[in-house]
Amino acid sequence: SNYPNGKPAIKYNMIKGSIDGTLTIFGEDGKTNYEAQYKNGQLHGVRTEYYANGKAYKKERFQDNNYEGIQEYFAEDGKPLVSVELKNDEYHGNTLIYTGGKLSVTKKYNSDELVEIVK
């Protein structure tokens, strides 16, 4: 589908009635607002959402529609805010919290249970 100005609003691939591959949503200005990888209609791979300035707001990783791996969240200037490790939708590994783009706190998790805080 397209905007009235002729620029595409959304782009995706369907296989057997399910989204498969990259789904991209564009703003009227043609910039990418959202991009996600799908496999058989489920989130599988990286999903990225963008600020109006084109910098990434968040980069999330999925496997079979579950959060899996490192999830990253950014300030509008591109500096990191939080980085979270997840396994099967649970906190597992390090959660890194940034202040002004610099690492300020590390929280360590094991199967959704907080085991250590390092400042």
Q: Are 62 and 80 found together in one domain?
A: no
Domain shared by 20 and 59, yes or no: yes
Is the pLDDT at 75 greater than 90? The verdict is yes
Residues 18 and 43 in one domain: yes
In the 3-class helix/strand/coil scheme, how is 65-90 assigned residue by residue? CEECEEEEEECCCCCEEEEEEEECCE
pLDDT score, position 40: 95
**Do 45 and 95 share a domain, yes or no?**
no
Is there a single domain that holds both residue 21 and residue 59?
yes
Average pLDDT over residues 101-111: 97
pTM higher than the cut 0.75: yes
Q: Are residues 5 and 63 in the same domain?
A: yes
Look up the domain containing 19 and give its range: 1-67
Tens digit of each residue's pLDDT (9 = 90 or more) over 12-71: 999 999 999 999 999 999 999 999 999 999 999 999 999 999 999 999 999 999 999 999
The full DSSP string for 15-48 is ETTEE-EEEEEE-TTS-EEEEEEEETTEEEEEEE
Total domains in the chain come to 2
Q: Do 55 and 92 fall into the same domain? A: no
pLDDT given at position 1: 84
